[in-house]
């Protein structure tokens, strides 16, 4: 049984929100099937199996990503297109990885 099926059985008030493929389960505030629009630098590092420093270097050189600052913290986000480009650039020079 999938998570969506479990949620539907728990609460019979599940309804679809348009063509986006997003489902809202009332009274829980939970979004099912929500697809994030950006990928964090940490997630890119994990998915490409390369160190964050390498992701940071490639993204700076290629001019990819957006930095969001909140107080003392900085988080770099990439669109899916930028993530794809980072993967291609990382695969071109695998011997440079540490």
**Angle at alpha carbon of residue 40, lines to 63 and 34, rounded to 5°:** 125
- For tokens 């009274």, name the residue: 27
- Percent share of the chain, pLDDT over 70: 60
Residue 43 shares a structural domain with residue 90? yes
Q: Which range scores top for mean pLDDT: 29-33, 34-38, 84-88?
A: 84-88
Where do runs of H (alpha helix) occur along the chain?
3-10, 41-48, 52-62, 80-92
pLDDT attached to residue 11: 44
- On whether both 51 and 73 belong to a single domain, the answer is yes
Q: How many domains does the chain have?
A: 2
Query: What size, in residues, is the chain?
Result: 98
Say how far apart CA 37 and CA 11 lie, in whole Å.
28
Provide the residue range defining the domain that includes 23.
3-32
Does the structure show a pLDDT above 50 at 38? yes
Distance CA 7, CA 22 (A): 14
């Amino acid at each position: 049984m999938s998570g969506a099926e479990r949620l539907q059985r728990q609460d019979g008030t599940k309804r679809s929100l348009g063509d986006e493929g997003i489902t809202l389960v009332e009274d829980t505030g939970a979004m099912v099937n929500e697809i994030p629009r950006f990928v964090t630098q940490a997630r890119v590092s994990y998915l490409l199996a390369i160190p964050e420093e390498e992701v940071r270097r490639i993204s700076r050189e290629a001019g990819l990503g957006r930095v969001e600052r909140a107080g003392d913290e900085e988080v770099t986000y990439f669109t899916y297109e930028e993530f794809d480009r980072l993967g291609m650039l990382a695969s071109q020079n695998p011997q440079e990885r540490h």
